[in-house]
Amino acid sequence: MKPLEGIKVLDFTRVLAGPFATKILADFGAEVIKIERTGQGDDTRSFGPFQNGLSGYFVCLNTGKKSVELNLKDPDSICLLKEMVKDVDVVIENFRPGIMRKFNLDYASLKAIKPDIIYASISGFGQEGVWSNKPAYDLIAQAAGGIMSINGYPDSPPTRVGASLGDTSAGLNATIGITTALFHRERTGEGQQIDVAMVDSIYALLESNVMRYTVEKNIPQRIGNRHPISAPFDIYQSKEGYLAIAIANESLFERFAIFIHREDMLEDERFRTDNNRQNYQELLKVEIENWLCQYTATEAAALLEQGGIPCSVIHDIKDISESAYIKERNMLVDVNQLDHGLFKIPGNPIKLSSLKQTNMQRAPELGEHTEAILEKYKEMMK
């Protein structure tokens, strides 16, 4: 039995944050019924890249789900949905706060029908409060949440994290909320409401950066690839490409110095402690690159790894996607989308021993399951 087998999820989410969450639930065996706007469906169906007319963006977020086309402005649809709610475990949505209430599909309305419903909402700025009505996209959540101010180089403008972290972190948090609520319901019989905001999710990822402000009143700045505490901890230029080296304690530094035949650095007061190395990291960089310039990044990585020095070449998306590692970890999986051909999508990074490797079920065509699913609930309404 898959861990979430038998769990039914009524999924009103669109675009990224919500579908990212329900994709994990589907991977774990939940039946995810995706409610899509009649005619158009999820916005991402029209986002590139396309293969034989099907959006790769949509596919990577929606495999294993069922698609039901419905017009939420039609009262009959709402009646039908309310019938469905009696039969599901989880409702999830990422509309702007207030929209689900307009449709009479808010938590209070659905709890009245199904008292133990688990109801998760994802929004930019939370369900209530000063900023709850502000529209949010990933860039907005990243700007508001503080992470852009510490991402990038000192001489560059604030920098958006190059993947949609506002959405995906909120999706992960919603998933934690839902799985926790499922466990809670199993023991207590009670449902609950889950309120996840993208800005909160970004803020929670700042970890010790927040502490540097609240404890020391220092406002963390952009420091490129450096570490706020340790050195050497940066990327360094080789003969060809950059190499990331991360040395976070004294014994590693000792091993490193010996390995690059620079035992003299161990006698040098300026490099004696992490703290001193922080203060002289420009000089340290020169010394490291003096050694590194003899090798390509790949060669140097192979050498340093023999010495157990934490390092890595900087993979681009092709490098990592084609690596033996990703293949072995099953982190790039095939999805057979029939007429649209085979797609390769990122795998689930949460490897559960209860979940045996199975073929990834494809993403649904728009409305593919409308009849089959609605028929059942129309019957029930009679």
Catalytic residue IDs: 227
Return contacts of 98-102, CB within 8 angstroms, 24+ apart. 98/133, 100/12
Query: For residues 79 and 333, which CB has a smaller minimum distance to its own copies in the complex?
Result: 333
What distance in Å separates the CA atoms of residue 78 and residue 72, rounded to the nearest whole number? 6
- Residue by residue, DSSP assigns 167-193 as HHHHHHHHHHHHHHHHHHHHHH---EE
Query: For residues 293 and 380, which CB has a smaller minimum distance to its own copies in the complex?
Result: 293
What distance in Å separates the CA atoms of residue 82 and residue 377, rounded to the nearest whole number? 9
Residue 313 is inside which H or E element, if any? strand 311-313
Query: For residues 318 and 382, which CB has a smaller minimum distance to its own copies in the complex?
Result: 318
Q: For the window 70-109, what string marks contact with its own copies as x by the rule CB under 8 A?
A: ----------------------------------------
Query: For residues 292 and 373, which CB has a smaller minimum distance to its own copies in the complex?
Result: 292
Cis peptide before 232 (omega within 30 of 0): yes
Regarding 49 and contact with its own copies (CB under 8 A), the answer is yes
Closest contact distance (angstroms) between CB of 222 and its own copies is: 6
Interface with its own copies by CB under 8 A: which range of 62-70, 242-250, 260-268, 285-293? 242-250
Regarding 115 and contact with its own copies (CB under 8 A), the answer is no
Residue 344 is inside which H or E element, if any? strand 342-346
Residues 15-34 that bind its own copies (CB under 8 A): 16, 20, 24, 28
Query: For residues 158 and 367, which CB has a smaller minimum distance to its own copies in the complex?
Result: 158
Residues 123-162 that bind its own copies (CB under 8 A): 125-126, 129-131, 134-140, 142-153, 156-162
Angle at 18 between CA 192 and CA 116, to 5 degrees: 20
Cis peptide before 49 (omega within 30 of 0): yes
Closest contact distance (angstroms) between CB of 82 and its own copies is: 21
Q: For the window 175-214, what string marks contact with its own copies as x by the rule CB under 8 A?
A: xxx-xxxxxx-xxx-x-xxxxxx-xxx-xxxxxxxxxxxx
Closest contact distance (angstroms) between CB of 328 and its own copies is: 4
Query: For residues 220 and 367, which CB has a smaller minimum distance to its own copies in the complex?
Result: 220
Query: For residues 146 and 364, which CB has a smaller minimum distance to its own copies in the complex?
Result: 146
In this structure, what token pair is assigned to residue 67?
A: 């698609």
What distance in Å separates the CA atoms of residue 363 and residue 45, rounded to the nearest whole number? 11
User: Which of 365, 372, 375, 316 shows the shortest CA–CA distance to 59?
Assistant: 365
Interface with its own copies by CB under 8 A: which range of 33-41, 216-224, 263-271, 369-377? 216-224
Q: How many CB atoms lie within 10 A of CB 97?
A: 20
Size of the site for its own copies (CB under 8 A): 145
Residues 304-343 that bind its own copies (CB under 8 A): 305, 308-321, 324-326, 328-329, 331-332, 343
Q: How many CB atoms lie within 10 A of CB 331?
A: 17
By CB atoms closer than 10 A (0-12, 13-18, 19+), residue 219 is exposed
Regarding 260 and contact with its own copies (CB under 8 A), the answer is no
52: left (phi over 0), alpha (psi -120 to 50) or beta: left
Q: Which of 112, 113, 229, 286 binds its own copies (CB under 8 A)?
A: 229
Q: How many CB atoms lie within 10 A of CB 153?
A: 12
Closest contact distance (angstroms) between CB of 376 and its own copies is: 24
